[in-house]
Amino acid sequence: MHHIKAIAFDLYGTLFDVHSVVDRCEQRYAGRGREISALWRQKQLEYTWLRSLMNRYVTFEQATEDALRYTCRHLGLDLDDETRAALCNAYLELRSFPEVPDALLRLRERGLKLAVLSNGSPHSIGSVVGHAGLRDRFDYLLSVDPARIFKPHDRAYALAEQAFGLSRAAILFVSSNPWDATGARYFGFPTGWINRGGSTFDEMGQRPDWELAGLDDLPKLFDGA
């Protein structure tokens, strides 16, 4: 691991639990929280990919709101303005996975530069990281906004290379999303896949360099490096 000088992390689902919105969904729609969260996340991802293919970029907040509107319409749930705002705001206050704060601190102690590289906007990334009190763990909070296209497009991954001022071979990209790890691997980053749930990696022509059960396994790779 001597060649790795920096790490870029995906935000949603990797550092922060997107399904921590379930509680807020339950408050508004009792008994439907998990169902709403699952479909909402699915459509949110689909909308980012489809908009990239169509070259019709919108902010992550807009894609998230559009996905929520679809979800409620599909499930036959009324969505008033107050509920829409409350649920979308939940995406700005996601909970980090339990092991994340300490794992990030241990990585910084090993002299690594750290960044978030996310499909989120600068506002959404700053809100999520700030709400969790983790801003001081990162050198950069990188949004795809300047590239005007979402991951897994190469222009999105190039933002980390530019920010760190390092070759892509020196930057480890870490994600819990197989499609994201695949895109980063095609770009040329060494990759770590956080597989908390025992999932199966996608068949898209790439494999992660490391498969980890949680973020707390990541600092161990650098022990003795």
Q: Do residues 84 and 104 share a domain?
A: no
Q: Which of 31, 61, 90 is the last residue of a domain?
A: 90
Q: Do residues 143 and 165 share a domain?
A: yes
> Catalytic residue among 10, 17, 145, 180, which?
10
Active site residue 17: no
Q: Do residues 174 and 201 share a domain?
A: yes
pLDDT at 164: 98
Q: Do residues 159 and 62 share a domain?
A: no
Environment class of 173 (CB within 10 Å of its CB; exposed 0-12, middle 13-18, buried 19+) = buried
pLDDT at 70: 98
Dihedral sign of CA atoms 148, 21, 79, 92 in order: negative
| Tokens encoding 26 | 């339950």
pLDDT tens sequence across 95-116: 999 999 999 999 999 999 999 9
Three-state DSSP class for 175? Answer: strand
Q: Do residues 178 and 120 share a domain?
A: yes
Query: Whose CA is closest to 71, among 59, 53, 83?
Result: 83
Query: Whose CA is closest to 9, among 119, 116, 142?
Result: 116
> Considering the entire predicted model, what is its pTM?
0.96
Q: Do residues 102 and 86 share a domain?
A: no
What's the domain count of the chain? 2
**Residue range(s) defining the domain that contains residue 193:** 6-16+95-222
Contact partners, residue 81, CB within 8 Å, separation at least 6: none
| CATH number (domain holding residue 27) | 1.10.150.240
Q: Does pLDDT of 150 surpass 60? A: yes
Does residue 1 fall inside a structural domain? no
pLDDT at 223: 86
Q: Do residues 10 and 35 share a domain?
A: no
Element (H, E) at 9: strand 6-9
